[in-house]
Structure 1
Amino acid sequence: MSGGYEVQFVTIHGHRRAFVKVGTGPALLLLHGLGCDHTTWESVIEPLSRRYTVIAPDLLGHGQSDKPRADYTLGGFANGMRDLLTVLGIDKVTVIGHSFGGGVAMQFAYQYPERTERLMLVASGGLGPEVSPAIRAISSPGFHQVMSVLTLPGIRHAGMAGLRALSATGLSRTRDLDEVADIYDTFRDPAARHAVRHVVKAVVDWQGQIVTMADRAYLTEAMPMWVVWGRDDRVIPVRHANAAAELAPNARVEVIPDAGHFPHKDHPQRFARIVQDFVRTTEPATYSRARFRRLLRNGAAPVALHAVPETA
């Protein structure tokens, strides 16, 4: 059990995948961020499941899912979500992705527009180059060796206690450190460390994020898209929310005050209402091969993301 919900398992391509599936109604696919798992959504699963079928998986390499030597690219994760939904008998979903999960959500919508009704990005990667130095450090050559020392029992427990104490101060700069402590704890598993490092190397280098939606954002013309951010996000700057609005003019952007990188945890009831408003006020995308062909043929000029102004 997890948060009162049963964690289920299914084996696909020889790898066991963990997920929570609860509720009835239109399907929501909730994709967690780097080093997290489905439990990051615990506070919003219950209110959302009153109206929707909520599917919250542990991405491969995370949580209770297997951590094999495997394809940890955005495309690989999108393929895995397609296969999971197929096994579960779910044809179409509204995809909601947080942080790295936002990158997976965008990739899923790009690869499988016929299965994507709406796209919601929550403090998402893929909207600009900036990212916290801690995430860039994961791709460094010595990460595994250093973390093997930092996750020794005594050191890990002291480090986690320090992070939680800083989080408890209530300062905006330290609000997310309790979640960082949980991620730090998962690194005690060498397989989890290897998986997360492969994930980061696929999307981040020493200069920052290397994968963005800039060259494909015009495709969102055919799909409802909302962007949600915490104003005090110290992991991915809130100005990336403005980048989303510039890249996809039809997207709605909502910045939540007094929230950090995990706005769905800081304000779960408000977040659930945002999701409900998104589904209630937008029509699900209907895939048209002819329209998709037209968009691809016409294309759009890439938009530079490095000069996006700060959100007011």
Structure 2
Amino acid sequence: MSEKRIIPIVMPKWGLSMAEGKLASWLMKDGDSVKAGDQLLEVETDKIAGAVEANEGGILRRRIGQEDTIYPIKTLIGVVADADVPDADIDAFVGSYVVPVAEEGEEEAAGPRYEFADTAAGRLRYTKRGSDDNTVLLIHGFGGDLDNWLFNADALAEGATVYALDLPGHGQSTKKVDEPTVAGLAKAVLSFMDTVKIDKAHLVGHSMGGAVAIEVARLAKPRVKSVTLISSAGLGPDINMDYIDGFVASASRRDLKPVLENLFADSGLVSRQMVDDLLKYKRLDGVGDALTALKNGVFAGGRQAALLADALAASGVPALVVWGAEDKIVPAAHATAAKGAKVEIIEGAGHMVQMEQAGRVNGLIKVMIGG
């Protein structure tokens, strides 16, 4: 007789700095049938809100967590189980549940929250998650940073070593951008790979980072196992320059918030903390000059300067293209330019599809990288 399954639902950990989250709302009720990938509840962090998805199917037998309540990560907030599991067994499971402690060596393996690499392109901040021969490198877009992968890095690290970096001019990396073009940023990525000794990797690029990933494949095909392009630049000339100009020019919360709302299908995901974090970054010395230089180099004349669809096809590198159907920054129609690539257009998501539909995107990437 097979053992009856009881599956805990816990407060997730999204990113290195997350210690707790607020259970904003339950999306299902006790007794509902659950499939793997179903959204169970919404969680709010100091960065953004996101949905917690079921890892396995069953019945939502017990909602323990209360809405509008903050819980530490790994706290038991619900239980999914088979229909034939007695209520007494659920009671016993909940009553005896102990929050898992870090395994021996886990905290050491996690290392510092962030690390820095001194490269030919300058000092670049990065994170490293997981431990596996299969390596993934996450490359953010214009004005972003490695926290754009909060909902993805740990999930992908279940079967890979995952790096995420701040490109020159972004995050906590050097604000000096020697060559403010897609090609220049690709050279910076290759220099980073040299410094941290990444011989070969699956590249995952978002927006401008997608164009950078294609250019890395063009410059150094033997070092690229595959490319996953998320709402990618480089596949067509169109770009929402009102967004680019607005992002560069905004100096107050009132100005920046409506600009950022263009990134999401659900504009309510733009939290006060997200706006404040970006304002802090934009006020750092050198950021204004770096963003302006990149705007003029990457989006010269209000169009995308680097058109790389032919280079992607010529490289022969396996490619996956993922887009939010409601992208207001780069048209989803550009996906058709990636000849030979697998294309997935995801409804109910905008430019930040890797945040809005993280479970779906993570699943697609895992198939792509063989994880």
Alignment TM-score, normalising by the size of structure 2: 0.64
Letter in 2 for 1:275: I
Larger Rg belongs to: 2
1:199 maps to 2:294: yes
1:20 maps to 2:127: yes
Distance 2:270 2:300 in 1: 23
Maintained 8 Å contact 1:232/1:258: yes
Query: RMSD of aligned C-alpha atoms?
Result: 2.8
- How far does the alpha carbon of each residue in 1:218-242 deviate from its partner, in whole angstroms, 9 at most, with x for none? 314x221110000010000111112
- How far does the alpha carbon of each residue in 1:197-228 deviate from its partner, in whole angstroms, 9 at most, with x for none? 111211213342121014424314x2211100
TM-aligned CA distance change 1:85 to 1:161, over 3 Å:
closer
Maintained 8 Å contact 1:2/1:39: no
Greater fraction helix: 1
Question: Aligned pairs, how many?
Answer: 261
SS of 2:367's partner is helix
Distance 1:130 1:215 in 2: 17
Letter in 2 for 1:85: M
Maintained 8 Å contact 2:238/2:331: yes
Q: Once the two structures are aligned, what percentage of the paired residues are identical?
A: 28
Partner residue in 2 for 1:159: 255
1:232 to 295, 319, 326: 326
Maintained 8 Å contact 1:136/1:208: no
SS of 1:273's partner is helix
Maintained 8 Å contact 1:176/1:260: no
Partner residue in 2 for 1:3: 17
SS of 2:211's partner is helix
1:272 maps to 2:362: yes
1:114 to 205, 222, 243: 222
C-alpha deviation, 1:45, in angstroms: 1.0
C-alpha deviation, 1:2, in angstroms: 4.2
Partner residue in 1 for 2:168: 60
Maintained 8 Å contact 1:136/1:205: no
Greater fraction strand: 2
SS of 1:9's partner is strand
Distance 1:162 1:235 in 2: 13
Deviates more, 1:99-108 or 1:178-187: 178-187
Maintained 8 Å contact 1:131/1:209: yes
SS of 1:43's partner is coil
Q: Which runs of 5+ in 1 are unaligned?
A: 282-312
**Greater relative CO (CA pairs within 8 A, separation 6+):** 1
- How far does the alpha carbon of each residue in 1:84-122 deviate from its partner, in whole angstroms, 9 at most, with x for none? 212222210000100000111011000010100101110
C-alpha deviation, 1:163, in angstroms: 6.2
Distance 1:47 1:276 in 2: 9
C-alpha deviation, 1:187, in angstroms: 2.2
Partner residue in 2 for 1:77: 185
Distance 1:24 1:36 in 2: 25
Maintained 8 Å contact 1:160/1:185: no
Partner residue in 2 for 1:258: 348
Runs of 4+ displaced beyond 4 Å: 160-164, 175-185
- How far does the alpha carbon of each residue in 1:225-277 deviate from its partner, in whole angstroms, 9 at most, with x for none? 11000001000011111222xxx2x2100011101001110011111111111
Maintained 8 Å contact 1:176/1:261: no
Partner residue in 2 for 1:126: 234
Letter in 1 for 2:228: M
